[in-house]
Amino acid sequence: MSVTIPGALADHLTAERPFDLDTRAALDDARRGRGRTLVLEPRSMTALHVISRRAEQLLADSYATDAQKRAARKWIAAAGHAPQIITVRFASTEEAYDASQCAAEIRNGDVLVVEDEQAVAFMHDAWPVAVTTAHGEFHGDGTAPTVEAARGASARAAADAAYAIGAPLASAELQQDAEQAVAEAAADDAPEATPTVEEVEASYAAQLVTEADATAGTWRGAWIGEHSVAALPALFDLDTEQGALFDDRAAVEEAPPAAVEAAPEPFVAPEVTRASVDAYLAREYPALYAPEQPRPLELEPAFMWAVTHRVVIRGEWVGLIMCGLGRREADDRAGALLYTGSKAVEVVLCEHGPNAHRDARLAARCEGCGYAIPRGEQWHDACRPRPRLTPLERARRAAARDAGYARALDASDAVTAAGGEPPF
């Protein structure tokens, strides 16, 4: 199942790559989509949670651009916010420690897993506290809050992660809790025991004897045995069918053969395939993984601006209006009209409403000035940023400039040698 990352957010992730292994692998396997977007196929939910954390950080960053914030809002609207605690994998404890101190996607309570070093830690404020005997660069030697001083959901999640990779836990209490949780999960997944044929036959015989003892010597059995209604029309023989429920004949009747159930098949774990993972993701995250359905383009209401002014036409002052403009474009038009001599120039809201001027709202906008440009283009020629010269280009231009100076000096010397007359 593929996921599309908006362009500005994709550029941010490419420039400042995350530290964890899952997100790096997903970004390495990603391909370019339309425009600057990235299309990736995540192998786990960790990559999506890390990208959501990065989008939340961009929304809170006052230095982030408007394009980055729009891309972050679009991603969160589709994928949702990251959970309170996430488990991230790293290549080494040193890299995990550095990420815990400077990476925006690592927060208090997250679990850090380094499988190669058999080390697992959880974030307690600014301290990555190890819960395993092997701690590497993590705090586990008494220089940070101990596991017992910071028990909670994060410590339990770290213990589960350590038990999953087979790393021994430093705390005996955490080790016992993890083993108990695994034993309970195995007991819940175990199939129910099926009774044997002998047990079924013994249970049926005991039931018949109990019924016979309960009805023996009662008035029901005596009354049904003394009053026979064989001469009257009936649907069935009361003496042999209904009366058998209350006398001793039920005890001597042969028990019907018990149904032999087939032995249960051994439990086989379902095979994890790409199709099963896609079905799970589509079921758990419908807004992100649901197939796109064709639907008409819907635009959010947006305020458009207009410029009103008065000009002289055929000797009379006439009021004119230009509407369907963006705010910056309207301000520039108003300044130009004032410079050309128009009177009563004002920038007002367009009277046609926020849902009007569909073509103007759909038009492509220049990245520099914000004016409408033809589709498929991104910059006006005058607004396009100039490419920065490489050191080699600067050296070539300096050499050409020096060569021009040398030729001018040689020509001046030749004129001086000719007595002030040009040599041509």
Which DSSP string corresponds to 322-386?
EEEE-HHHHHHHHHHHHHHT-EEEEEEE-TT-TT--HHHHHSEE-TTT--EE-TT----TTTSPP
Question: Who wins on pLDDT, 238 or 71?
Answer: 71
Task: Give the separation between CA 75 and CA 7, rounded to whole angstroms.
Answer: 11
Task: Give the separation between CA 324 and CA 356, rounded to whole angstroms.
Answer: 8
User: With 70 as the cut, is the pLDDT of residue 291 above it?
Assistant: no
Tokens of 227: 């009053």
Of the candidate ranges 274-283, 289-298, 411-420, the one whose mean pLDDT is the lowest: 289-298
User: With 60 as the cut, is the pLDDT of residue 281 above it?
Assistant: yes
Task: Give the separation between CA 253 and CA 85, rounded to whole angstroms.
Answer: 66
pLDDT at 114: 92
The tens digit of pLDDT for each residue in 217-229 reads 555 555 555 554 4
CA angle 78, 83, 86 (to 5 degrees): 120
pLDDT at 150: 47
Task: Give the separation between CA 23 and CA 287, rounded to whole angstroms.
Answer: 21
Of the candidate ranges 12-26, 153-167, 233-247, the one whose mean pLDDT is the lowest: 233-247
pLDDT at 162: 85
Give 365's strand partners.
372
The dihedral region occupied by 97, where left means phi > 0, alpha psi between -120 and 50, and beta the remainder, is alpha
**Mean pLDDT, range 353-379, rounded to an integer:** 70
The tens digit of pLDDT for each residue in 11-58 reads 888 888 888 888 888 888 888 888 788 888 877 888 888 888 888 888
pLDDT at 172: 65
Across the chain, mean pLDDT equals 75
Pairing mode of beta strands 372-373, 31-32: unpaired
Specify whether the CB–CB gap between 167 and 112 falls below 8 A: no
Among 230, 259, 257, 256, smallest CA distance to 242 is for 230
Half-sphere exposure of 42 (CA within 13 A, CB side): 18
Among 366, 240, 285, smallest CA distance to 75 is for 285
pLDDT at 250: 47
pTM of the model: 0.43
Of the candidate ranges 159-163, 243-247, 340-344, 392-396, the one whose mean pLDDT is the lowest: 243-247
Among 158, 145, 112, 135, smallest CA distance to 19 is for 112
pLDDT at 113: 92
The tens digit of pLDDT for each residue in 117-153 reads 889 988 888 888 888 888 888 887 554 455 444 457 7
Task: Give the separation between CA 42 and CA 284, rounded to whole angstroms.
Answer: 15
